Structure 1
């Protein structure tokens, strides 16, 4: 239940994005799996670095948590892992 609460509170605002939460959640997964290296994450997603940077900024504006800021990263990374484990946003929490 604690993980579901974290996912809802940290990532819930992503549902408001045009196109839904999935593309932005995929961006977080790729970014964290690439060790927070934007160029590598962009290649994994077949995006330009500029498009990836735009998505990261969009995540920051929607959630209030900056994935590029080490102080904020832990919360988003933990929530993103929880979202994957809980199959969010496909399943309502």
Structure 2
């Protein structure tokens, strides 16, 4: 693959990763605030009718978003700890 194709692939992969993260976060908010209640009795019915998701698929997306959030937080901490100076020259 060319450098441009590799760059395009990376860009598109990031879009896919972001999409599942955004979907999981949105589903959690819909569930937590019960924003489905005007049209459906349960969150599971809402997800099935609106998105064609099984209960399992909806909860997997929400769980994946939590894991992704945690990984981002851990990675940010690692970057902070590894780039901070270890001595004070003042």
Q: Normalization by structure 1: what TM-score? A: 0.38
Say which structure, 1 or 2, has more relative contact order (CA 8 Å, 6+ apart): 1
Whose radius of gyration is greater, 1 or 2?
2
